[in-house]
Amino acid sequence: MKEETAEQAAARKAADAKRKRDERARKKLEDAAKATETTLAQAETVEDFWAASLTTVNPAKLAEWKARQEEIFDTLHWMREVMDGTYNVSPDDIECYVSLEEGDEDIKRMLREYGETFATAVLLLPLWQEPHTLAQLTKGGENHPTTIFARYGILTALPDWTVFKWEQFMQTHRRKSQSQLFTSNGYVQMQCECYTPITSRESVPSSMAEAYARTGIKFLCGPCRSRENNSRQAAKSLTAEFRQPQSNLRDDWGRLKDQ
């Protein structure tokens, strides 16, 4: 048997030491995972569950989530103050003041970019005690805001209930704004939701404005009405194209023709 050289012996010892280190690291991870599973199983509240789950998150990912959460908290604070009427920052404070329109646009941006957290279900259901419930809440994937909130209690998108309340608040605000735009000649300035400069606002008789408010029909400006009418006409034309005329189905006596 050929004798082992000094270099080969050193390489063997290094490989053996690495194998042992890797084995110890694997064992450590397994023990940590088992300990976490035990802690999760013993959780009595959702807060206990979240605290145990957070120990398994990658630190860089956790830092990213928490930075996003600060943005969400800032927006929620502004939304609540606006909705309960306590927002008192002066418009003269150009560094801090956020107008209603500006804030609403930012909320829409966040919903487009981050999605929405279905926090209501997370907070109402005992997900830490019901694996099937947790599976349902996290089926959107590991990066979905509802998954992150359900598993770790971190808000990375606006919660559904607050978004719903905000939408109700904005609808009421727009109705009030429209009702306050009466002019001395009996006309009202109404605003289309497209918010196109100049063309989105029109003066209509006050009786028409009251009818819009009473029926809940959305007001459309001229360009939007034209687009909607064109869409309806196109739909009618398409329907007519596929519908066989009655005259081709019956003879002059009203009897069905042989096909």
Q: What is the mean pLDDT of the chain?
A: 79
This prediction's pTM? 0.56
Contacts within 8 Å (CB) and 24+ apart, 95-103: 100/173, 103/75, 103/78, 103/79
Q: Is 191 helix (H, G, I), strand (E, B) or coil?
A: strand
How far apart are alpha carbons 2 and 20 in whole angstroms? 26
The predicted structure's pLDDT at residue 32: 47
% of the chain residues with pLDDT over 90: 29
Q: What is the mean pLDDT of residues 47-51?
A: 88
How far apart are alpha carbons 169 and 79 in whole angstroms? 10
Displacement of CA 216 from its chain's centroid (Å) = 25
Model confidence at 182, pLDDT cuts 50, 70, 90, reads low
pLDDT at 58 over 70: yes
How far apart are alpha carbons 188 and 90 in whole angstroms? 29
The partner residues of 203 in beta bridges, in order of sequence, read 189
How far apart are alpha carbons 12 and 172 in whole angstroms? 76
The predicted structure's pLDDT at residue 190: 81
Q: What is the mean pLDDT of residues 58-81?
A: 94
pLDDT in tens, 215-245: 778 888 888 888 888 777 766 665 555 555 5
Give the pair of three-digit tokens for residue 224.
């939007």
Give the pair of three-digit tokens for residue 144.
């979905």
How far apart are alpha carbons 117 and 111 in whole angstroms? 10
Q: How many Cα atoms occupy the beta-carbon half-sphere of 121 within 13 Å?
A: 16
The predicted structure's pLDDT at residue 67: 95
Which amino acid, 33?
A
How far apart are alpha carbons 66 and 154 in whole angstroms? 7
Give the pair of three-digit tokens for residue 71.
């943005």
Q: What is the mean pLDDT of residues 195-205?
A: 78
To 5 degrees, how large is the angle CA 170–CA 144–CA 140? Answer: 110
How far apart are alpha carbons 76 and 168 in whole angstroms? 15
% of the chain residues with pLDDT over 70: 77
How far apart are alpha carbons 142 and 148 in whole angstroms? 7
Higher pLDDT, 9 or 255: 9
Give the pair of three-digit tokens for residue 70.
């600060």
> Domain extents for the chain?
46-163, 181-241
Q: What is the mean pLDDT of residues 186-192?
A: 79
Model confidence at 64, pLDDT cuts 50, 70, 90, reads very high
How far apart are alpha carbons 20 and 45 in whole angstroms? 39
How far apart are alpha carbons 228 and 235 in whole angstroms? 11
CB 114 within 8 A of CB 155: no
How many residues are given for the chain?
259
Which amino acid, 133?
T
State which H helix or E strand residue 60 sits in.
helix 59-84
pLDDT in tens, 103-151: 999 999 999 999 999 999 888 888 878 888 888 988 988 899 999 999 9
Model confidence at 258, pLDDT cuts 50, 70, 90, reads low
pLDDT at 39 over 70: no
